[in-house]
Copies of this chain bind each other. A is one copy, B any other.
């Protein structure tokens, strides 16, 4: 299900690492866990977030799982390159967790729910292995939060293709704005959602390159084949749309996208 957005190709891997690097401060500055606490990272993928999490909480013990052995192998290799010792990897499914009830102090899940047809069920399954009073932290994007200047109809059509393809795969790329009701419906309490808006103009060249071009536009471009083969868009309109997205990364352009970070408690 994840092979078009969080893929396993080297190019995709590099995009994910780029994304994590340029957005690290925005998304992760307020996540750190106490010494000795036991944290589950659910759906670690190739470890883009794992690297940040483990460094931000060097005395916490992480357990990172993913359904893909291949992703776990990539993550392990990256973690060992960086001499990070406070994480164990394991192939495991969120819907069939090999852990005792209340095994973890806290749970972290990032860019995973958007790919699942049943995100509330996933949150409920995760809740079982979380201690009472423990927190869950969820980070998701929201492709419907994108806009730019100059903005063209064709540019927005390419983004709509990305949204529709993810919906066709039973995912939901508009999930960021829904974290609050999702966490509540899964039974968590004291839910707090914080938007993390990425606003990019040419005074921030690192974000122009690292976010607008190499993360967002790269992600849209990644669905070209599927968009054309599903007849969601005509190829001339596609090309104009992608050019127009790049146009918004020029000196007088601006680019806006919002991630959402939710935290909630497992109640008594």
Question: In the complex, which of the residues B185, B201, B258 contacts A193, with contact meaning CB atoms closer than 8 Å?
Answer: B201
Given the interface pairs A191-B203, A192-B203, A193-B199, the reply to whether A254 lies near B145 with Cβ below 8 Å is no
Tell me, yes or no, whether A228 is within 8 Å of chain B by CB.
no
Report whether A195 and B197 are in contact in the complex, using a CB–CB cutoff of 8 Å: yes
0/1 per residue, A247-268, Cβ < 8 Å to B?
0000011101010100000000
Nearest Cβ distance between residue A17 and chain B, in whole angstroms?
26
Nearest Cβ distance between residue A33 and chain B, in whole angstroms?
23
Q: How many A residues face the partner with a CB closer than 8 A?
A: 30
A147 / chain B contacts, CB cutoff of 8 Å: 142, 144-145, 177
Nearest Cβ distance between residue A173 and chain B, in whole angstroms?
13
Tell me, yes or no, whether A243 is within 8 Å of chain B by CB.
no
CA distance A181 to B247 in the complex (A): 13
Report whether B184 and A252 are in contact in the complex, using a CB–CB cutoff of 8 Å: yes
Tell me, yes or no, whether A148 is within 8 Å of chain B by CB.
yes
Chain A, range 143-186, C-beta contacts under 8 Å to B: 144-145, 147-149, 151, 174, 177-178, 180-181, 184-185
Interface of A toward B, CB cutoff 8 Å? 142, 144-145, 147-149, 151, 174, 177-178, 180-181, 184-185, 191-195, 197, 199, 201-203, 252-254, 256, 258, 260
Q: Can you list 18 A-B contacts with CB-CB less than 8 angstroms, sorted by A residue number?
A: A144-B147, A145-B147, A145-B256, A147-B177, A149-B174, A149-B178, A149-B181, A151-B174, A180-B201, A181-B253, A191-B203, A192-B203, A193-B201, A194-B199, A195-B197, A195-B256, A199-B260, A256-B258
Closest 5 CB pairs of A and B: A181-B252, A180-B201, A195-B199, A149-B177, A197-B197
